[in-house]
Amino acid sequence: MDMKKINWFPGHMVKTRREITANLKLVDAVIEIRDARIVASSQNPEIDKIVGDKPRIILLNKADMAEDQVTRRWKKSLENENTLVLEVNALTGKGLNAIKPTLNELLKDKIARNKERGIVNYTIRAMVVGIPNVGKSSFINRMAKNAIAKVGNRPGVTKNKQWIKTKEGIELLDTPGILWPKFEEETSLNLAFTGAIKDEIMDTETLALRLIERLSHHYKERLIERYALEEFSEDPLENMDNIARKRGCIIKGGEIDYMRVAVMILDEFRSAKLGKISLEWPEVSDD
């Protein structure tokens, strides 16, 4: 599976990039959502360039599915005077109560100037950005406390720009998820492992095999424990075969049902049944 040349940049994503650029002047801040398990891979470099020095909150979504220590290191490496980082779960709402005070902190100078001009109840406007399937709709629904934004488990469900009012005195500008023209193999794999890229454009069986290979380096014991493996091989295909046998993924004649075991392994990783897993680490000390 050669993923180095994946080029997936539909027309609606080109349009989204233009919309984000054009609408940036309408908002006070940007709320960027990333996947805490793949913080670097779920960062869209296009967004980074477009947003520039605009005040930004980075939400590390699904933080309860990533290793706490690794997520803390990411937070330390990403924060600066214009950017603050929060660990959240957009689906359950965990951590989202910190959004308003964090925006107040980022925009304190602007809010102070508004007070001097007699504007007390200032409504903060924030643009929500992120790659497809990273949790934007779940975040907006939680903030709005009703299902305004359409939620789906398929990449690219949210299509059209819309403003959403929240009870916290924040207005959110929703934007469709945007990927970028080309990604390197490791980024492509990480996006595919977590479901940010449609499974249909990947070879599911090979993808699961590569996930086993990746987890073997840092989470070998998790695989052994989850699938009750009596032995663990250096060969990921052998481990995949053993997992299939343990879970009864066998077809007529005793052959391995590779599609069935592949789908199961990917589903169990994506639903955190393998425990808290981080697939990327920042280059920062742990003090």
Binding site per annotation, positions for GTP: 61-64, 133-138, 177
Q: What is the pTM of this model?
A: 0.86
pLDDT number for residue 122: 87
Highest mean pLDDT among 116-125, 138-147, 222-231: 222-231
147 and 36 in one domain? Answer: yes
- Answer whether residue 44 is part of any domain: yes
138 and 30 in one domain? Answer: yes
State the pLDDT confidence band at 2, using cuts at 50, 70 and 90: very low
Binding site per annotation, positions: 61-64, 133-138, 177
- Answer whether residue 225 is part of any domain: yes
Is the model's pLDDT at 9 over the cut of 60? no
Count CA atoms within 13 Å of residue 26 on its CB side. 14
- Answer whether residue 133 is part of any domain: yes
- Are the beta carbons of 66 and 37 closer than 8 angstroms? yes
130 and 31 in one domain? Answer: yes
* Residue-wise pLDDT tens digits, 111-135: 999 999 998 888 999 999 988 888 8
* Residue-wise pLDDT tens digits, 162-211: 789 888 889 999 887 776 666 678 888 999 999 888 766 678 999 999 99
Tokens of 249: 């993924």
26 and 162 in one domain? Answer: yes
65 and 150 in one domain? Answer: yes
100 and 31 in one domain? Answer: yes
Number of domains making up the chain: 2
CA dist 132 and 61 (Å) reads: 13
- Answer whether residue 27 is part of any domain: yes
Structural domain of 262? 203-270
- Answer whether residue 131 is part of any domain: yes
Which residue in this structure is represented by tokens 């609408």? 23
120 and 28 in one domain? Answer: yes
117 and 56 in one domain? Answer: yes
- Answer whether residue 54 is part of any domain: yes
35 and 141 in one domain? Answer: yes
147 and 60 in one domain? Answer: yes
- The enclosing domain of 241 has a CATH number of 1.10.1580.10
- Answer whether residue 2 is part of any domain: no
CA dist 120 and 163 (Å) reads: 22
CA dist 39 and 176 (Å) reads: 19
- Answer whether residue 71 is part of any domain: yes
Provide the CA 227 distance to its chain's centre, in angstroms.
26
107 and 22 in one domain? Answer: yes
240 and 160 in one domain? Answer: no
- The enclosing domain of 129 has a CATH number of 3.40.50.300
State the pLDDT confidence band at 98, using cuts at 50, 70 and 90: very high
